[in-house]
Amino acid sequence: MSEETAGPARGLIALTGATGYVGGRLLRALEARGQRLRCLARRPDALRSRAGAASEIAAADCLDPGSLGPALAGVETAYYLVHSMGSGADFAERDRRAARNFAEAARAAGVRRIVYLGGLGEPGEPLSPHLRSRHETGALLRSTGVPVVELRASIVIGSGSLSFELIRALVERLPVMLCPRWVRTPAQPIAIEDLLAYLLACLDLPLGEDAVFEVGGRDRVSYEQILREYARQRGLRRWLIPVPLLTPRLSSLWLGLTTPIYARVGRALVEGVCNPTVVRDASAQRFGLEPMGLADAIARAIQNEDRDLSETRWSDALSSGSAPASGAGQRFGTRLIDSRVCRSELPPEQAFAPIRRIGGARGWYHANWLWRLRGALDLLVGGVGMRRGRRDPERLAVGDALDFWRVERFEPDRRLRLCAEMKLPGRAWLEFEVLEVEGGSRLRQTAEFDPRGLLGLLYWYALLPLHAYVFQGMLDAIAAAGRPSARSHAGATRPLPARRSA
């Protein structure tokens, strides 16, 4: 079978957006398929702990045309999974620039196919700025003559996805929900597993084909039905009260207060769901795939959400928020933050070394008796306690158990993010970040808590005095473990709006 006919692609594949939710899942799927793969990333270090040894990682930014040529050299198929929805009011212009740059660079490099993931919505109808930008991006990618296979999808249901995080937060936190008219808009949600299957199937299409495929799950439902189905599967009684008026702006502010969604992302999302997003063109049936229905998609998402580690999350995407402000957090829904900073004269690799060795037999550098007490209490209520220790005293990898934490993200010499697995009235994370600055390094330690109801809030505020003692002492000790002269100063000790982990 020739390369021009259907069959597994043998050429080099370029993947953009691998730090995002869909891109991160697609990265693993392509590697499992044995494809030759090159990941394009603005910050390559963010991918080194995720990509397999056989995958290349190239520094490239779609807003920097000069960086794209070398990154696309020798590429046969390029996946374009880039968007700027969380970057502010100018996201559409940023998307236009990025798409033009990528299309021109793809043509110059001889790329033979672009696979692009866009959004559903009738082109003849007035579309929201977000959906209009998604369609416009597809047109711009075609503008230089490179064949484009465009998949248009509705909301994605999967563990860690933006849509699932929104649904989960609303239903779990609000026994009574005020529902504006947009919750009755029809949609055709698709499970992340089915979306990945479609993205992989695009590689089996003949090279040179230029087409748009509308993809969705088996069921056409309203957003209200999605909320009710999630509540049913979780065994929760929820009351949805219709209200006649709630503008997208007010809805986005409401989402920002009640869910882990940026207000600006929430507004773009709400404006988008005001448009019906259902499949009207059945041409995607040629792939021969049978997508699951809503109930199965939510069941799988809940199952995966309860696992030790979600593979990827929408908030990991570098484009899901603006660049982190220096020394301060950014809003992240209702999550509560204790963030502290110290400075070290050491280079990042030396300043990070004590962080890399944390936990297990070495302990937590400060107030270890309190850590052991917390572990004992966790055992009493059926938790894992501190008995697991760590796999290796020197090396860490994503997915490792670390006492009653789990390594959720690890970038050597830069970032360690731990997800709590002790019994809690909510979800918790502990993150350490080391950044190179003039004359040394800056160490930031961030404790993040997503409370579940009133009990979760009471738990957080009751422990604030202990946080001031344990977390500040731990940061001081980590700095001292690198060099005794490291000077520490407290950052915010009160709950701050949470920032996205990039």
Mean pLDDT of 43-64: 87
Q: What is the DSSP letter of 99?
A: H
The strand ranges marked E within 267-367 are 336-344
- The whole-number pLDDT of residue 172 equals 76
Mean pLDDT of 281-297: 95
Closest residue by Cα to residue 296 from 307, 308, 304, 284? 304
Please tell me which residue, 216 or 485, carries the higher pLDDT value: 216
Range 9-27 burial, b when 16+ CB lie within 10 A, else e: bebbbbbbbbbbbbbbbbb
Q: What is the rounded distance in angstroms from the CA atom of residue 414 to the CA atom of residue 46? A: 9
Q: What is the rounded distance in angstroms from the CA atom of residue 333 to the CA atom of residue 496? A: 10
- The whole-number pLDDT of residue 330 equals 36
Answer yes or no: is pLDDT of 247 > 90: no
Answer yes or no: is pLDDT of 246 > 60: no
Answer yes or no: is pLDDT of 243 > 60: yes
Closest residue by Cα to residue 152 from 281, 269, 274? 281
Answer yes or no: is pLDDT of 328 > 50: no
Query: Which secondary-structure segment (H or E) carries 405?
Result: strand 405-411
Kindly report the CATH number that applies to the domain delimited by 336-492. Answer: 3.30.530.20
Residue 481 — pLDDT band, cuts 50, 70, 90?
confident
Query: Which secondary-structure segment (H or E) carries 375?
Result: helix 368-380
Cβ-contact 37, 15 below 8 angstroms:
yes
- The whole-number pLDDT of residue 15 equals 97
**pLDDT tens digits, 136-181:** 999 999 999 999 999 999 999 998 787 787 787 778 777 887 777 7
Residue 286 — pLDDT band, cuts 50, 70, 90?
very high
Kindly state which CATH superfamily the domain 12-316 is placed in. NAD(P)-binding Rossmann-like Domain (3.40.50.720)
| Domain ranges for the chain | 12-316, 336-492
Burial of 228 (0-12, 13-18, 19+ CB in 10 A): middle
Mean pLDDT of all residues belonging to the chain: 82
**pLDDT tens digits, 69-119:** 999 999 999 999 988 655 555 778 999 999 999 999 999 999 999 999 999
Query: Which secondary-structure segment (H or E) carries 170?
Result: helix 162-173
